[in-house]
Amino acid sequence: MSSNIQSSESLLNAKPEEPKLVTNLRGIKNKIMVMSGKGGVGKSTVSANLAAALAERGYSVGLLDSDIHGPTIPKMFGVENEKPMVSEKGIVPVKVNDYLKIMSIGLLLDSNDSPVIWRGPAKMSAIKQFLEEVDWGVLDYLIIDLPPGTGDEPLSISQLIGNMTGAIVVTTPQEVALTSVRKSLNFAKIIKVPVIGMVENMSGIVCPHCNEKIYVFGSGGVAKAAEDFGVKVLGTLPIETEVAAAGDSGHVHIDIKSDSEWYIHFNKVVDAVEEFVK
């Protein structure tokens, strides 16, 4: 009889087991999602270069490519033909260097040309698995490259993680992009994720003949949106061919000249992220 009483007391006093997702992400200090209102604004370029730049500064960084239908991160780091291993602790992300590791659905496909034809539940299951079963280990930063928009993936990731450090919103200067980015800023407010700031990408191009800056997509709109929502513009990144070439060749943040206008302005974005988390 007494043993049954002791058994009942043990059950009452037992602490509930923590969800696997919580224990798996416990070693990550800062979780930052990079989002955009629409596609084609260079969000993945910002995500990849941010992760690479933080790793260059000596931080331990993970980069999660959560764009299920259009994964580009493996290509940008030149690891698209590598496959993740599996250990006792879970799926081992692909190592780019001693400070940076990545995970993407693109690393799990049979071919780089294979489309992912999945409905919402399958996508959500994959994203949960990336957070729950990938052995991220101890990280200073987990950068999450989100698909464009304010749909299933951003909502699910923010809800699953629950304690997101902040969000970076990427846009281009034209009015069409800004219409969408304002929705992203409101989305972050609704889900209670702090906005670290906005990045204005493709902010003009410098003429190679006369050095005059040409604002292909206009100017001023991003600063106005930032003012309306009370957020910072972290950097204005010009169009530079070597930035695109670095991503295409799998040499993110390696083949970009340190004295280029893009590099100088992008380092301001990295500085702002460091300052925010401090």
| Per-residue model confidence as pLDDT tens digits over 19-60 | 888 889 999 999 999 999 888 888 999 999 999 999 999 999
Q: Who contacts 27 (Cβ-Cβ below 8 Å, separation ≥6)? A: 136, 137, 138, 139
What is the structure's pLDDT at 4? 55
8 A C-beta contact, residue 143 and residue 168: no
Known binding residues for ATP: 37-44
What is the structure's pLDDT at 6? 52
Put simply, whether the predicted model's pTM sits higher than 0.85 gets the answer yes
d(CA 275, CA 260): 23
Q: By C-alpha distance, which of 57, 45, 125, 150 is closest to 97?
A: 57
What is the structure's pLDDT at 110? 82
Cα dihedral: 248, 200, 273, 258 (round 10): 50
8 A C-beta contact, residue 81 and residue 47: no
Mapped onto helix, strand or coil, the DSSP state of residue 181 is helix
- Which secondary-structure segment (H or E) carries 4? helix 2-13
- AA identity, residue 182: R
DSSP 99-119: TEEEEEGGGSSSSTT------
Q: By C-alpha distance, which of 166, 139, 133, 143 is closest to 63?
A: 143
Query: Average pLDDT of each block of 10 consecutive residues along the chain (278 residues)?
Result: 51 60 92 90 94 96 93 94 92 96 93 84 90 96 92 86 93 82 91 94 82 77 87 92 87 80 93 95
Beta bridge partners of 95: 101
DSSP 228-261: HHT--EEEEPPP-HHHHHHHHTT-TTTSS-TTSH
- AA identity, residue 172: T
Tell me the percentage of the chain whose pLDDT exceeds 70: 94
d(CA 199, CA 172): 8
Q: Which two tokens stand for residue 220?
A: 């001023």
DSSP 160: H
83 burial level (CB within 10 Å; 0-12, 13-18, 19+): exposed
Known binding residues: 37-44
